[in-house]
A = this chain, B = another copy of it.
Amino acid sequence: MRDNISNSYVALELPVQWGDMDAAQHVNNTVYLRWIESARIEMFQKMHEGEFDSNRIVPILAWQDCKYIFPVTYPDQVVISLDIIELLEDRVLCEGKIYSKKHKGIVAISQSLLMAYDMKELKKYPFPQTWRKTFIDFYGESILK
């Protein structure tokens, strides 16, 4: 079991850009989800080195949420950790945490639900066994629900 940022499957550090802020003078709500997306993509890059076929069957975002805990401002550095927290038959649930180095705390938590999608047939596809295996190899069977 992985339970903190340093042990996460993915941990990505990104600088806050001034242009990430909106007219309310803090980082726009959509940017937090861009950061989480970057961590998800990095997770799939890692898996891709194994058996992930990016051309036809791809992971697709079915749902996500975000709890905004503290407003981020420029300048700052954020560290985004991402982990699988549940692996079901046809989907996987990820949890991402955004940590601010300036504020020394978690500023947002976002969960996302991924499914497999057939880019040729344009419809849902059974979750590949090779993806399941990659996650179970890393996390152990405790993520199976």
Q: Are A30 and B21 in contact (CB under 8 A)?
A: no
The reply to whether the CB of A17 lies closer than 8 angstroms to some CB of chain B is yes
How distant is A14 from chain B, measured CB to nearest CB, in Å?
A: 6
- Pairwise interchain contact A19-B19, C-beta atoms closer than 8 A: no
Which parts of A1-53 form the interface with B (CB within 8 Å)?
14-15, 17-19, 21-25, 28-31, 33-34, 37-38, 41, 45
Q: Does A125 contact B (CB under 8 A)?
A: no
A residues 90-142 in Cβ contact with B at 8 Å: none
A residues neighboring B (CB under 8 Å): 14-15, 17-19, 21-25, 28-31, 33-34, 37-38, 41, 45, 58, 60-68, 71, 74-75
